[in-house]
Amino acid sequence: MWSASQTNAEMIHRLGSEGVIVSSAVARAMRSVDRRNYCIEGDLSPYDDAPSHIGFGATISAPHMHARCLEAFVQHATRGDARILDVGSGSGYLSVVFGRMNTDASVFGLDLIPELVEQSIANVKRADKDLLESGKLRLLVGDGWTGLPHEGPFDVIHVGAAAASVPRSLLAQLKIGGRAILPVGPEGQVQQLIMIDRVSGGPPEDAKAFITTPLLAVQYVPLVASEK
């Protein structure tokens, strides 16, 4: 049974008491973004520690999953003018939290479904429209398998949907010293959330250019590719 909270602040406090949130940067950023604005009313409580459907076959991840990923990214995401790519940005929530974690960062949210991107922009405009107006956050329609090569390289690449194998095009867009986190595995089965650090400028096929670390077993919706 997941934990339930009545407010955004209570949710953050609970994640801290459970040892999921450990850094002040993550706590501050998540506290500043009300998860209610990114959930569909009438599903679960937006502050329950559980994934929630947002339409179009997509979900917003459970708060503890977002917090775990943010903690793993905190040193990379808070670098000066960090460039951050959030693939499968869905509701827009995590993209906004990245933007609040580092006000000097450039954050790109990418999703294949145009209607979902429109919905995410509407979500952001409820209380976080300053990020859109400043240009620090861009929510775009695009293929997550392809990424945004013209906007890279990226310090952070987060993928919020499961790929059957690691997309090589995303590895090519990862900056040396950058970090990617993504779930890998077959649809509808147990997948592995993995962390990939780029340590040299070798091609994506060069295993020596990357260090891969398994994190935990997960189950995400699939990372869908464009029919193109």
Catalytic residues: 61
Q: Tell me 207's DSSP state.
A: G
Q: At what angle do helices 24-31 and 8-17 cross, to 10 degrees?
A: 160
Question: Degrees (nearest 5) of the Cα angle 109, 204, 155?
Answer: 40
Torsions phi, psi of 14, nearest 5?
Answer: -65, -45
Closest CA to 69 of 156, 163, 199, 187: 156
* Tokens read off for 157: 């690449």
Q: Is the peptide bond before 153 cis (omega within 30 degrees of 0)?
A: yes
Torsions phi, psi of 90, nearest 5?
Answer: 55, -115
